[in-house]
Amino acid sequence: MSTHAKPRFIFLYGVICVGVPLALAANALALWMRDDLDLVLSVQNGFELAYTLMLVAPIVGMIAGNALWTWRTRSEPSRDDVAPERADAAVEVRIDAEQRRLSQLQTELDGLARSSPGALGRRALAFSLLGYAYVIAVIALIIAAFFWLQGHDVAGFSRLGAQMLAWFVIFILSALWVRIAEPTGRRVTRTGSPELFAALDEIRRTLNAPAPDVVVLDGQLNASVTEIPRYGIFGLPRRYLTIGLPLLEALPADECRAILAHEMAHLSRRHGRRLVWTARLSVTWQALALNLEMGRHWGRALFVPFFRWYAPRLALYAQAVARRDEHEADALSAECVGAETASRALLRLHLAGRFLKDSIMPRVLRESATTAEPPSGVFEWMGSALCTGPTPEEIDRWLPMMLAERTLDGDTHPSVAERIARVSGGVDDGTAVQRAVEAMRTRSGASGAEALFGARRLPKLRRNIEEDWQKGVLNQWRRWHTDARVFGAAPSADAAEPSLEVLWAHARWATDCEPSDVALPLVRQVLARDPRHLEATVYLGRLLAEGSDAGDRDDGIHILEKAVLSEGQLAMLACETLEGQYARLGNRDGVQRVQVRQRQLADALLRGLRERVVLRPHDRLTAYPLPAATRAGIQRSCATQPDIRRVFLVRKETVYLRDQPCVILAVECGVPWYRPSDGTSARQTALALRERVVLPEAADLIAFPVAPRSRMLRKLRKLEGAEIFSRKS
């Protein structure tokens, strides 16, 4: 019965079958060691026996329940031996019921956010503390059991038990220590940008908001505030205001002021502090459950079931509170600059995002076909294009799709139409959106970047942000360039028909670097050659579903509905696209079906990750073929690193996620005897080499260092075609 879900009474099952007998046996053993065996069932020891049952039975029951269930079902057919529809039936029913409960909770929280925002905040705070309460209760129970067993002088328990208890408590506390990274970008000072800080001071006085400690400028079309404790998880928060230079280029000065007022409103109401705390909690509990599950830790039975129940509910509370905070910040921004300006800023910002994605970035990324490094002058040209804005035809094409978007259950930000309606008085009859659309079509005045930084300082800021962008996109740019070299080096169409490898390299590059009307024919050519090409199928569905033609969208949704039945990261990508399309169409049942599938894929991904992060000599491996251009590039990279002796590329056969191939990059490094090494440099070398490898298909590429003269190395050397680099002596 390995294909069936464990029953809900598994805890009671373990307590009755194992916990109680073991507790009785432990009590008898303790008394026997004190020569009091005749008093085991005596009235005098009734309280002692009850105390034993209370402490030992629950702990042992939770651990033993899972073991007993596995032992009882060991002889039943595995998942691979059962028809897929039967294997997934019980799991699907269980997840579907859980999804209905989560949807009911989401509806309840949305109603509470509208009727009583304060009550939602208090309820979310209480639920957030539940995770800490559970961890403290479990640790306290284990400590109490330890001291009870120590008090009964159980032989050999004192030292061993103390070591196990200390190790377990340290493991749990270390998992709870999660540090939130500081925002990245270029820091802006009051001396260098007095106009920006003057605008912030004016807004701050209007909203009675604290001043940000650090103002950061980055290359995103966004703005945000973050409050991070100064000493890890303790101390007063340090307030960060992050502003994207493209945002300031895309909006005129008055609309930039509306966006800054929105962010300062978050500081005024301390939304950033609550958001960071909730994000830390979510990351903390997920990391704790993942560490216990991945490490097959004996304590996972105490924590993993609870946090599987708790984590999605905590996420719903966090998302509901985040949406409430966005509406509150929008209202304060409207009070500061006016409802019309705030609505116009929201609409223009979302339109600029579509303009940047569909028009500007394809022109930039197209350069990867001819240059191996990201080009210069991108942000100067991008700033000019954003300031000019999209053409009227582009606005007419994108606006209906943008305004048709609706808020998803998992969104932290409401949809733009909902936000504009709330800013304009809360009546969602379309008139507020229409007024914002008409006002947005006309633009006057300088951009926010020119007004807040000045025309003389702006070119230097663009160069600084461009340097950061070039470093961040470098590895991905090289992958695009490698794809371009593959199809660029292919023979012309009149000489020979291009291979499937060449076609797919061209289609994959075009999907990221060209508009959809250019990428679509190339993806169709791949599928015409190989109809079972999963990655091309997902790309085709995504391109069609995100298009403007209604018929193409229906075809794309149909393709994605089939693609989500596969496994791996591509299925998750198909789920994300399909969920967004269902939300735009108002198909709530479709959204819930996709969310059910996402939870199934998440469980499968966890099992697959556990299987893929190890490399053992008994794993079944086969040589992985590489294109000649990619192989030559890897060999050139290896030749420049003297520590690399041999490099192998193999495919690992896996039980889970078979649609997502697992490719192993094994690197043998030779360190001279006079250089002490703990293996860190070998791991870093393998990871650095992994960044330069571009596979001809969607696969998990995992880098492993291989020790010289190891059994693993001997096995790899025997695989014909697995060795792609060898340094000659």
Average pLDDT along the chain: 78
Q: Is the pTM of this model over 0.75?
A: no
pLDDT single digits (tens) 67-76: 554 454 444 4
For 269, list phi and psi in degrees, rounded to 5: -100, 10
CB 534 within 8 A of CB 574: no
C-beta neighbour count of 124 within 10 angstroms: 22
Give mean pLDDT, residues 301-305: 76
CB 547 within 8 A of CB 553: yes
Of the candidates 509, 513, 576, the one whose C-alpha atom is nearest the C-alpha of residue 541 is 576
Which pLDDT belongs to residue 40? 43
Question: Tokens for 177?
Answer: 């220590």
Give mean pLDDT, residues 29-35: 51
Any idea which of 152-166, 602-616, 664-678 has the lowest mean pLDDT? 152-166
Give mean pLDDT, residues 583-600: 76
pLDDT single digits (tens) 109-124: 888 888 888 888 889 8
Number of alpha helices (DSSP H) and beta strands (DSSP E) in the chain: 28, 9
Question: Using H for helix, E for strand and C for coil, what is the string for 36-49?
Answer: CHHHCCCCCCHHHH
Give the span between the Cα atoms of 126 and 122, in whole angstroms: 6
What is the sign of the dihedral through the CA atoms of 196, 202, 203 and 204?
Answer: positive
User: Does residue 186 register a pLDDT over 90?
Assistant: yes
Beta-sheet pairing, 723-726 with 234-244: unpaired
Contacts of 672 (CB under 8 A, 6+ apart): none
User: Does residue 6 register a pLDDT over 60?
Assistant: no
Question: Tokens for 325?
Answer: 């905070």
Which pLDDT belongs to residue 110? 84
Which pLDDT belongs to residue 199? 94
CA 548 to chain centre: 28
Which pLDDT belongs to residue 621? 92
Which pLDDT belongs to residue 291? 64
Give the span between the Cα atoms of 413 and 330, in whole angstroms: 11
pLDDT single digits (tens) 384-431: 999 988 888 888 888 887 887 777 666 778 888 888 888 877 655 567
Percent of the chain with pLDDT over 90: 24
Span between the terminal Cα atoms of the chain, in Å? 56
User: Does residue 283 register a pLDDT over 80?
Assistant: no
Give the span between the Cα atoms of 343 and 334, in whole angstroms: 8
Of the candidates 182, 173, 90, the one whose C-alpha atom is nearest the C-alpha of residue 132 is 173
Question: Tokens for 527?
Answer: 């599928």
pLDDT single digits (tens) 211-231: 999 999 999 999 999 888 776
Contacts of 221 (CB under 8 A, 6+ apart): 244, 246, 247, 250, 349, 352, 353, 356
C-beta neighbour count of 289 within 10 angstroms: 21
Distances (CA, A) of 453 to 45, 106, 217, 448, 460: 80, 43, 11, 8, 10
User: Does residue 432 register a pLDDT over 60?
Assistant: yes
Which pLDDT belongs to residue 298? 59
Contacts of 202 (CB under 8 A, 6+ apart): none
User: Does residue 496 register a pLDDT over 70?
Assistant: no
CB 212 within 8 A of CB 226: no
User: Does residue 317 register a pLDDT over 70?
Assistant: yes
User: Does residue 699 register a pLDDT over 60?
Assistant: yes
Per the DSSP assignment, residues forming a β-bridge with 666 are 648, 704
pLDDT single digits (tens) 268-281: 888 877 766 776 67
Which pLDDT belongs to residue 42? 45
User: Does residue 287 register a pLDDT over 80?
Assistant: no
pLDDT single digits (tens) 443-467: 767 889 999 998 889 999 999 999 9
CB 124 within 8 A of CB 317: yes
Contacts of 146 (CB under 8 A, 6+ apart): 161, 162, 165
Distances (CA, A) of 106 to 117, 277, 278, 280, 406: 14, 21, 17, 21, 15
Per the DSSP assignment, residues forming a β-bridge with 650 are 623, 664
pLDDT single digits (tens) 520-553: 999 999 999 988 888 899 899 989 988 777 788 8
Which pLDDT belongs to residue 77? 41
Label residue 64 by pLDDT band (50, 70, 90): low
CB 55 within 8 A of CB 144: yes
pLDDT single digits (tens) 82-111: 343 443 454 455 556 777 787 788 888 888
Which pLDDT belongs to residue 260? 96
pLDDT single digits (tens) 336-364: 999 989 999 999 999 999 899 888 999 99
Which pLDDT belongs to residue 223? 94
Which pLDDT belongs to residue 103? 79
Which pLDDT belongs to residue 684? 83
Contacts of 727 (CB under 8 A, 6+ apart): 638, 639, 644, 645, 646
pLDDT single digits (tens) 239-251: 999 999 999 999 9
Give the span between the Cα atoms of 650 and 723, in whole angstroms: 9
Q: Which of 33-42, 165-174, 714-723 is the most confident on average?
A: 714-723
Single-letter residue type at 72: R
Of the candidates 263, 395, 275, the one whose C-alpha atom is nearest the C-alpha of residue 342 is 263
C-beta neighbour count of 14 within 10 angstroms: 25
Label residue 209 by pLDDT band (50, 70, 90): very high
Which pLDDT belongs to residue 424? 78
Contacts of 361 (CB under 8 A, 6+ apart): none
Burial of 250-282, coded b for 16+ CB within 10 Å and e otherwise, reads bbbbbbbbbbbbbbbbbbbbbbbbbbbbbebbb
What is the sign of the dihedral through the CA atoms of 34, 35, 41 and 44?
Answer: negative
Give mean pLDDT, residues 620-648: 86
Which pLDDT belongs to residue 320? 87
